[in-house]
Amino acid sequence: MDPSFKRRAFIVCLALVAGLTALSFRLITLQVWDRRMSDKSSVPQFKMQETIPASRGLIVDRNQTVIAQNRPEATLVANLDHLHTVDILKKAVTHRYASQGAGWKNLNHAERDFVLREARKKYVAPMSKQQLIDEHLAYATEIIGREFRIPSAELKRKVEKGSVRTVVRKGIQEDLARRLETELQKRSIQGFNFERSQRRHYPMPTFAPHLIGFKNHQGVSECGLEKWMEEILAGRDGRRELKRDENGLVNLTEAAEVNPPMMGKHVKTTLDMGIQAIVEEELGMAFDAYNAKAGSILVVDPHTGDMLAMASRPHFNLNIRENYANAGTSFAVSAQYEAGSVMKIIAMSAALESGGVTRDTVVDCGWGELLRHGFIIKDHHRYNELTFDGVLVKSSNTGVFQFAERVGPAGFYDYLDAFGFGQRTGFPIPGEAKGRIQDRTNMRNFASATYGYGVSVTPLQLAMAYSVLANGGTLLKPRLIDSVIAHDGRQLESMPVQKVRRVLSERTARGMCLALEQVVLKGTGRRAKVPGYRSGGKTGTSEKWDNKAKIYQEDKKFVTFVGILPVHDPRFVCVVTIDEPSGLGEDFQIGGGTVAAPLFAQVAGRIARLMNITPTEGIPENEDSIALNPTQ
């Protein structure tokens, strides 16, 4: 073979190998190292994924009134990775110059394409990279600023001074976000996207805030039902990947792939927001009028344990939450205090249930003093002989102790346990206190406990204990959650009424209710009378213990009234507690009968009318106020 031919063939093969090698290297560079489109090497291939927030379940009351709901909102974010990439900015800058021409809005598609090509040649092609960046940002901030009514120069400075991811604005309403998305997309403006979220909103933010709870700014449930029912309410977020065109431009209004969110379930509570409004208003006015330190009003359905309303002071606003640090604990659930004479129902119920006592049984109250076990039990007034009803009507300490004696310390404490004191009720809100019962072997403690000292209780425990009398003798677990409901309205789960134990016979419970009616008719609870309705209840006044000085403080008191209405066919039990009422004048004798009882009457009367309870007796044309001097 001709040597010259071999040489030429070798050169050709060498050239082919070199060329193929270079081509292979370039392909590897494009596909592995660079990862950019071969025809647009300067366009970065960012992956744009957007979270689609799940719609959190609603919280509603027993009548489907919305207590907690969602408001979709968005956050506008600027991404400097996009804002500094020239090739994806040219289209928007071209649009800016083309659209400034006269008659742009009236041009058809073909005419607009021609104007865009001419503007790109004339204005955009000669621009440097920095000019393009500046022009694009100026155009974007002009459109965004117009929608937000903010000067574009101010927005431009904010973005330029920001980091790679700069939050332009938070809390944007969804309709405005969608409108602005369309405007940016129409102009091919890049580098700005919306991050969606759901903001929790409370239409009645000061109603039962301790029960409802809230989600903080980081989306974490802090307290109440929002925390307790988190798994039920939360749902699951979805995601979508945004589309891009051949130039790498992000399409803000269309998605390439969508993983839809899963809605949370709704929680129906036992609350009645009409009743809640009443107790919030009345407690708020009393709190101010009495210059009180704290307090609460509870309303319970005694037959189901349903919490119809619960208001506590101090409280806070669920939407603002400024006072949450100082008022985040529910007085009704967490406060432990010696309640005084409202606790006399324990000894009296135990004695009546024993069978050796009737409502006509008489005891000698010792004219105000009774010597037992080496110590003296004192009364607030000098009483001689009183019947069973009379002991409750006059709220005699010596009288109630004698009825407790008939049961004995062991029997008394058994009933104290049976009524639910010294133990948590199981209420589904974190922070419930269980109360405390002092040394059961000490006879002085036994004596004190019969009339409400030496036993720390919560307003919630009192509500459930008096419900035992109102429902015929059964202790119930308080209910706050009625059911769980799907977003299509189907009931997924119902929370049953839970009976804890039978405490009294129906006969004893009925007798106690009638005895408590006498307290309202002619005893320390006369100011609790509700015109038109038979009501029963018991007052309580207790001095606060100073742990440092080891004494009870006469000038600092808890006052309580627990009432049942109507007493012959109970529809609700209401507990009113005020901590340290003051500022009522030197001649005003602070007590459960003078402070808490009138507040009960006001609340119960309004609730009875709201519930359309048929009056049980005629309503006098002029209901005279009764001058009293009760302290119990």
Bridge partner residues of 201 (DSSP):
69
Q: Which has more confidence, 566 or 78?
A: 566
Task: Tell how far CA 499 is from the center of its chain.
Answer: 27
Band of pLDDT at residue 214, cut at 50, 70 and 90? confident
What mean pLDDT do residues 513-520 have? 96
Q: Which has more confidence, 258 or 118?
A: 118
Q: How far apart are CA 246 and CA 216, in angstroms?
A: 42
Residues whose CB is less than 8 angstroms from the CB of residue 231 and which lie 6 or more positions away in sequence, other chains included: none
Using left for φ > 0, alpha for ψ between -120 and 50, and beta otherwise, residue 491 falls in beta
| Confidence (pLDDT) at 444 | 92
List the Cα angle 508/510/513 in 5-degree steps.
110
Q: Which has more confidence, 116 or 402?
A: 402
> Residue 203 pLDDT more than 80?
yes
Q: How far apart are CA 337 and CA 543, in angstroms?
A: 10
> Residue 177 pLDDT more than 60?
yes
Least confident interval from 7-21, 142-156, 465-479:
7-21
Amino acid at 292: A
Q: pLDDT averaged over the chain? A: 85
Cβ neighbours of 285 (radius 10 Å) = 12
| Confidence (pLDDT) at 389 | 95
Q: Which has more confidence, 222 or 496?
A: 496
| Confidence (pLDDT) at 133 | 83
- The length of the chain is 632
Q: Which has more confidence, 583 or 402?
A: 402
| Confidence (pLDDT) at 49 | 67
> Residue 615 pLDDT more than 60?
yes
Look at residue 163 and give its three-state secondary structure. Answer: coil
| Confidence (pLDDT) at 41 | 43
Residues whose CB is less than 8 angstroms from the CB of residue 392 and which lie 6 or more positions away in sequence, other chains included: 344, 348, 400, 515, 516, 518, 519, 523, 538
> Residue 186 pLDDT more than 90?
no
> Residue 259 pLDDT more than 50?
yes
Band of pLDDT at residue 35, cut at 50, 70 and 90? very low
| Confidence (pLDDT) at 623 | 43
> Residue 624 pLDDT more than 50?
no
pLDDT > 70 in the chain, percent: 85
Q: Using H for helix, E for strand and C for coil, what is the string for 403-441?
A: HHHHHCHHHHHHHHHHCCCCCCCCCCCCCCCCCEECCCC
What mean pLDDT do residues 514-537 have? 95
CB burial of 414-435 (b: ≥16 within 10 Å; e: otherwise) equals: ebbebbbbbeebebbbeebbbb
* Class level of CATH domain 49-89+128-198+229-269: alpha beta
What mean pLDDT do residues 375-387 have? 89
Q: Which two tokens stand for residue 156?
A: 């431009």
Using left for φ > 0, alpha for ψ between -120 and 50, and beta otherwise, residue 203 falls in alpha
Q: In angstroms, what CA-CA distances link 401 with 350, 382, 445, 536?
A: 12, 15, 12, 22
pLDDT > 90 in the chain, percent: 50
Phi, psi of 547 (to 5 degrees): -70, -25
Phi, psi of 307 (to 5 degrees): -80, 105
> Residue 6 pLDDT more than 70?
no
The secondary element (H helix, E strand) that includes residue 554 is: strand 551-565
Residues whose CB is less than 8 angstroms from the CB of residue 474 and which lie 6 or more positions away in sequence, other chains included: 468, 499, 500, 501, 502, 503
The closest alpha carbon to 570, from 525, 527, 611, belongs to 611
Q: What's the DSSP call for residue 366? A: G
Bridge partner residues of 540 (DSSP):
560
Q: How far apart are CA 435 and CA 457, in angstroms?
A: 5
Contact 324, 543 (CB under 8 A): no
What mean pLDDT do residues 569-583 have? 95
Q: How far apart are CA 618 and CA 80, in angstroms?
A: 77
> Residue 424 pLDDT more than 90?
yes
Contact 53, 197 (CB under 8 A): yes
Contact 569, 471 (CB under 8 A): no
Q: Which has more confidence, 8 or 367?
A: 367
At 54-76, the pLDDT tens digits run 788 999 999 999 999 988 888 88
Least confident interval from 26-30, 132-136, 179-183, 590-594:
26-30
What mean pLDDT do residues 618-626 have? 49
DSSP code string of 475-537 = EE--B-EEEEE-TTS-EEEE----EEEE-S-HHHHHHHHHHHHHHHHHSTTGGG--TTS--EE
Band of pLDDT at residue 168, cut at 50, 70 and 90? confident
The secondary element (H helix, E strand) that includes residue 5 is: helix 3-28
> Residue 628 pLDDT more than 50?
no
> Residue 113 pLDDT more than 50?
yes
In the chain, the N- to C-terminal Cα span, in Å, equals 130
CATH of domain 273-610: 3.40.710.10
At 489-502, the pLDDT tens digits run 899 999 999 999 99
> Residue 245 pLDDT more than 60?
no
Contact 613, 566 (CB under 8 A): yes
Q: How far apart are CA 38 and CA 17, in angstroms?
A: 23
Q: Which has more confidence, 541 or 12?
A: 541
Least confident interval from 12-16, 278-282, 363-367:
12-16
> Residue 356 pLDDT more than 70?
yes
Least confident interval from 179-183, 366-370, 619-623:
619-623
At 551-574, the pLDDT tens digits run 889 889 999 999 999 999 999 999
Residues whose CB is less than 8 angstroms from the CB of residue 38 and which lie 6 or more positions away in sequence, other chains included: 30
Contact 530, 604 (CB under 8 A): yes
Q: Tokens 């489907």 identify what position? A: 64
Q: How far apart are CA 80 and CA 43, in angstroms?
A: 14
Band of pLDDT at residue 629, cut at 50, 70 and 90? very low
Q: How far apart are CA 574 and CA 569, in angstroms?
A: 15
Structural domain boundaries of the chain?
Answer: 49-89+128-198+229-269, 273-610
> Residue 10 pLDDT more than 80?
no
